[in-house]
Copies of this chain bind each other. A is one copy, B any other.
Amino acid sequence: MATPLPTAPPVPAQASLKDTALGALRGVGQVDFQASVWTSLVILAALWAESWETGLFAVIGAVVSTLTARLLAVPRDTLGQGLMTYCGVLGAIAMVVYLGNHPSTYVMAVAAALMCTLVTATLNHLLAPFGLRAFTGPFCLVALVMVLGAPSFERIWHGTPPTAVTPETPRSPVVSWTDLWQGFFANVSQIFFAGTWYVGLIMLVGLFLAGWKVGVFTVVGSVVGLLTAWALGAPAALIGQGIYGYNAVLTSLAFGVVLLRPTVWNYGFTVLAAAASTALTASLSVLFATFGSHTFTWPFNITTWALLAAVPLLPRITARADDS
């Protein structure tokens, strides 16, 4: 109480208003591992092109999760790069997709974004000793429990909205040309719960703005996702909606651009990881359907955590030195 200045424990350098605003914006691009402001703006425009609800809830999520981190005195560097924000963006969109656009859903979106920020701190603390990062795991955890619990509460549950229903699709694995090219773009947009091909196209443009390598590994991930799903015989209708490929895009960006050094072996490992995440999508969909939840980006997170944790014992595969 009467201790001399400075008091302990010192709170680290705080983000200014501008840092905070930039962090909120960059959080949109950080879903795809990109801190570029231009990429974030283009992706945000694509979300509004999908629907005004998607765009609005993305903004709510970005603002609330960034402010939560600012209030809790998260250091300026982490905050300003959008690293406490990206899960909140996805978490808030998930609320409107799975609960529908009701007044109570706005409250739930705020709660989801707030919890996403806290759980981002949780996972980064727990995973750091193993050389891993949270990725979109915090969003997956928060969305999992909120979607699972929502139907128990009368004031927030108003029936399953149309956006949350996966329509009965024919099981035929015969892929048409339309399935292929629409799936190629939808693989990029489904990361944000958007299945419209031109939304994916706009996002792909945004990712190329972040660098040619980013764009190329987005393309590689989408193609590997398509090929793997086709080779295994997944339903063509789901392939065309990007359901089987969005995790491959994230996994390809993670290993190809962010996590590993640029070697031929590592690029092979990246393709393998993207294919594995595609196959895992089916397993996790069956698992979550059993108790009434959804796949989200679990396949990407689980594949990337598992294969990245293997790297230290596989001398041929080489991680980047920690420059993050």
On A, residues with C-beta under 8 Å from B are 9, 11-12, 71-75, 111, 115, 118-119, 121-122, 124-126, 129-130, 144-146, 148-157, 171-173, 231-235, 276, 279-287, 290-292, 306-307, 309-318
Contact = CB atoms under 8 A, between A and B. Distances in A.
B173 A155 contact: yes
A151 B232 CA distance: 10
B286 A148 contact: yes
Chain copies in the assembled complex: 3
Given A122-B307, A310-B122, A232 B153 contact: yes
B313 A121 contact: yes
A153 B234 contact: yes
11 contacts: A72-B314, A72-B315, A118-B307, A144-B283, A150-B282, A152-B286, A153-B232, A153-B233, A155-B173, A155-B231, A155-B232
A119 B310 contact: yes
Nearest to A130: B126
A314 B129 contact: no
A221 to B, nearest CB: 19
A309 B157 CA distance: 30
